[in-house]
């Protein structure tokens, strides 16, 4: 499985990771090698095998819908890099590239 | 014997009988940290003042905190502690002070256990040597030119060097068992869902579990007891009564059926690891266990399945580090550039690699071939275990294919590093329980070797009984050179 530089750039964009040229090239080589190894799973016969998302699955875990104590607004904002008037503040979103 | 050299069980008994105070024990541990931390570097943050205050509160005796009251503990720095910096050894969270505590931290706090510090790890628990910490590397107390294993390397090194009586680590694909093995201590990975994940900084949510790293099996049972049990704040937390693990230690293993897993107990092992493992098998047989070899063919694919599933979950979990609500932010003109630059700056190389790997295996066109396929293969691993447990009560293997390796030995090749966890990932994928117990020192390098004992989900009791019987019979008493230094 060989990963191209285009693949790396595409995935980095999906993952919101700005990579330098050198990083992208190293990752291209390493991901190819790791996926080559991991692709061995394709040889396993999984016909009619259900996928496992949780090994010990519970279903329909409910709790009573009661109001309980939670973080105050101040506590929730305490670690914010930038907060203003009780909100998280971010750089502009409109007109930003998609 | 100095107080810091005692086990948790011994200290808990002494404190309860008022033979020593919690303040004296805590001070002994803090002094030990001051003596040897500069050569081990196990701690990201030390919390001596709050530990002393807690010890005094316990000594005041106005409140009954329960059986472990007064015995200090150290926590892996991926466990959130209210008001105390919790970094996951990442630049992303270097200044993060959680507004709440993880359930496991809150339970130990409620048990009256002074917390002396937060231990170093591979960034976001991704690694097998603690070399991926964004801050510094941690040395193996047996040989400071070698790694302590990982990702809970700080916790294992702290316990092995006497800087912590016991500690909590987390295990996603071996991160408790492998460092415990490499540092010559006991490490227990509980059944998925036995211990709450609430407040653990998430890596791979279908695999992550917190568990004890201790000096002996009794301590592992006691510390597990303190953290196990249902938590309404974790929807994957299992309901039901928690057994008495301390009581489960007794009884011996006469007649117990123990299977040696062929795929991870033979080829590819360091000679000294194989030799010590074979001695361990003979010792278990001598105790009356019925030993047989068992083949679990899909174990050959364990690392592959794990490295498709865990990074996929990680890439999703780590999407939260976007520079908005907490953690690092690198400013930029628009929000997408801000997200991308923040993540480029805040994450180290291994974390980036796993995010890329996971994003790739989840992306359109590759999902079915990689992530989907790995989820089905995960079912095959679970079926392999189920088949083996028809004939055996427990399964065993070495805890790690090698003893502690040197700094830098595996950092150039990620795949070689990933293969360090080959013995550990199958149990994680099956959500089952496993423990690593010291089984001697490899003859070629004098470094500790661990025996891994695996059990069916929620059968920690049988696993602990076997581990205890093994430990009592072997009477492994070697300590790292630094143990005697003061």
Q: Give domain limits for chain A.
A: 1-42
pLDDT at B378: 98
Chain B (109-148) residues lying within 8 Å, Cβ to Cβ, of chain A: none
> Does the residue B293 lie in any domain?
no
**CATH number of the domain to which B211 belongs:** 3.90.1300.10
Question: Is residue B438 a contact partner of residue B197, using CB atoms and an 8 Å limit?
Answer: no
> Does the residue B332 lie in any domain?
no
Chain B positions in Cβ-Cβ contact with residue A2 (cut-off 8 Å): none
Please give the tally of structural domains in chain B.
1
> Does the residue B152 lie in any domain?
yes
> Does the residue B418 lie in any domain?
no
**B190 φ/ψ sector (left φ>0, alpha ψ -120 to 50, else beta):** beta
CB contact under 8 A, A97 and B336: yes
pLDDT at A63: 84
> Does the residue B288 lie in any domain?
no
Q: What is the largest CA-CA distance in chain B?
A: 70
Catalytic site includes residue B76: yes
> Does the residue B467 lie in any domain?
no
* Best to test chain A binding among B239, B341, B376 (most A CBs inside 10 Å): B376
Chain B (179-208) residues lying within 8 Å, Cβ to Cβ, of chain A: 191-193, 206
Residue spans of beta strands (DSSP E) within B47-97: 73-76
Give burial (CB, 10 Å; 0-12/13-18/19+) of A64.
exposed
Chain A positions in Cβ-Cβ contact with residue B301 (cut-off 8 Å): 40-41, 44
Question: Is residue B240 a contact partner of residue B230, using CB atoms and an 8 Å limit?
Answer: yes
Residue A97 pLDDT more than 60? no
**How far is it, in rounded angstroms, from Cα B188 to Cα B449?**
15
- Sorted by sequence, the CB contacts under 8 Å of residue B195 that are 6+ apart come out as B104, B209, B210, B211, B224, B227, B228
Write out the DSSP string of B375-400. HHHHHHHHHHHHHHHHH-SEEEEESS
pLDDT at B126: 98
Q: Is A86 on the interface with B (CB under 8 A)?
A: no
Helices (H), B17-84: 22-40, 48-60
pLDDT at B354: 98
How many inter-chain contacts (A to B, CB under 8 Å) are there? 185
- Sorted by sequence, the CB contacts under 8 Å of residue A3 that are 6+ apart come out as A28, A31, A32, A35, B360
Chain B positions in Cβ-Cβ contact with residue A80 (cut-off 8 Å): 324-326
Give burial (CB, 10 Å; 0-12/13-18/19+) of B390.
exposed
> Does the residue B10 lie in any domain?
yes
- Could you confirm whether domain A1-42 is CATH 1.10.20.60? yes
| Radius of gyration for chain A, computed over Cα atoms and rounded to the nearest angstrom | 22
Catalytic site includes residue B39: no
Chain B (50-109) residues lying within 8 Å, Cβ to Cβ, of chain A: 96-97, 99-100
pLDDT at B195: 98
Residue-wise burial string across B432-449, b where 16 or more C-beta atoms lie within 10 A, e elsewhere = bbbbbbbbbbbeebebbb
Nearest CB to B343 within list A17, A30, A35? A17
Model-wide pTM > 0.95: yes
- Quick: pLDDT tens for A45-95: 999 999 999 998 788 888 889 998 899 999 999 999 999 999 999 998 876
pLDDT at A57: 77
pLDDT at B132: 98
State the angle between helix axes of B48-60 and B22-40 in degrees (0 to 180), rounded to the nearest 10: 160
Chain A positions in Cβ-Cβ contact with residue B457 (cut-off 8 Å): 55-56
pLDDT at A1: 63
Q: Which domain holds residue B65?
A: 3-252
According to DSSP, residue B6 is labeled S
Chain A positions in Cβ-Cβ contact with residue B324 (cut-off 8 Å): 80-81, 88, 90
Q: How far B309 CA sits from the closest chain A CA (Å)?
A: 9
Catalytic site includes residue B50: no
- Quick: pLDDT tens for B72-82: 999 999 999 99
Tell me which residues of chain B have a pLDDT lower than 50: 486
Q: How far A96 CA sits from the closest chain B CA (Å)?
A: 6
pLDDT at B436: 98
**How far is it, in rounded angstroms, from Cα B161 to Cα B181?**
14
> Does the residue B49 lie in any domain?
yes
């Amino acid at each position: 499985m060989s990963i191209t530089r285009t693949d790396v750039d595409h995935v980095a964009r999906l993952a919101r990771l700005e990579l330098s040229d050198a990083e992208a090239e190293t990752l291209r080589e390493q991901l190819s090698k790791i996926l080559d190894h991991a692709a061995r799973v394709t040889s396993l016969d999984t016909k009619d095998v259900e996928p496992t998302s949780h090994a010990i699955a519970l279903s329909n875990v409910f709790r009573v819908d009661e109001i309980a104590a939670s973080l105050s607004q101040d506590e929730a904002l305490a670690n914010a890099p930038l907060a203003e008037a009780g909100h998280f503040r971010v750089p502009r979103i409109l007109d930003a590239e998609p | 014997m100095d107080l810091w050299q005692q086990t948790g069980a011994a200290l808990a008994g002494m404190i309860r009988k008022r033979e020593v105070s919690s303040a004296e024990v805590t001070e002994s541990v803090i002094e030990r940290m001051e003596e040897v931390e500069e050569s081990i570097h196990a701690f990201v943050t030390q919390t001596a003042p709050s530990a002393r205050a807690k010890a005094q509160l316990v000594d005041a005796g106005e409140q009954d905190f329960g059986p472990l009251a007064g015995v200090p503990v150290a926590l892996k720095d991926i466990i959130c502690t209210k008001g105390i910096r919790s970094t996951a050894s990442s630049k992303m969270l270097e200044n993060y002070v959680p507004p709440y505590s993880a359930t496991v931290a809150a339970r130990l706090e409620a048990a009256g256990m002074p917390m002396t510090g937060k231990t170093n790890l591979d960034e976001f628990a991704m690694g097998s040597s603690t070399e991926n910490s964004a801050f510094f590397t941690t040395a193996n107390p047996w040989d400071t030119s070698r790694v302590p294993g990982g990702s809970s390397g700080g916790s294992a090194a702290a316990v092995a060097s006497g800087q912590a009586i016991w500690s909590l680590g987390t295990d996603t694909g071996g991160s408790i068992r492998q460092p415990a093995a490499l540092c010559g201590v006991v490490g227990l990975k509980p059944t998925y869902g036995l211990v709450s994940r609430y407040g653990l900084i998430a890596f791979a949510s279908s695999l992550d579990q917190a568990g004890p790293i201790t000096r002996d099996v009794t301590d592992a049972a006691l510390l597990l007891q303190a953290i196990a049990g249902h938590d309404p704040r974790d929807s994957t937390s299992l309901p039901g009564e928690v057994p008495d693990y301390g009581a489960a230690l007794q009884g011996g293993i006469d007649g117990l059926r123990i299977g040696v897993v062929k795929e991870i107990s033979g080829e590819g092992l360091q000679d000294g690891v194989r030799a010590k493992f074979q001695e361990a098998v003979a010792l278990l047989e001598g105790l009356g266990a019925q030993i047989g070899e068992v083949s679990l063919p899909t174990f050959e694919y364990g690392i592959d399945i794990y490295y498709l599933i865990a990074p996929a979950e990680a890439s999703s979990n780590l999407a939260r580090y976007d520079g908005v609500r907490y953690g690092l932010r690198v400013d930029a003109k628009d929000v997408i550039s801000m997200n991308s630059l923040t993540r480029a700056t805040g994450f180290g190389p291994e974390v980036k690699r796993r995010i890329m790997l996971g994003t790739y295996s989840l992306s359109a066109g590759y999902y079915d071939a990689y992530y989907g396929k790995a989820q089905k293969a995960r079912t095959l691993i679970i079926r392999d275990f189920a088949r083996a447990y028809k004939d055996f009560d427990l399964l065993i293997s070495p805890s790690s294919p090698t003893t502690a390796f040197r700094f830098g030995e595996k950092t150039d090749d990620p795949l070689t590093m990933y293969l360090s966890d080959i013995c550990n990932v199958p149990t994680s994928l099956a959500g089952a329980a496993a423990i690593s117990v010291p089984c001697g020192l490899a003859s070629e390098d004098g470094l500790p070797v661990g025996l891994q004992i695996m059990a069916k989900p929620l059968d920690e009791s049988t696993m602990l009984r076997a581990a205890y019987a093994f430990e009592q019979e072997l009477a492994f008493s070697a300590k790292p050179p630094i143990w005697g230094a003061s």
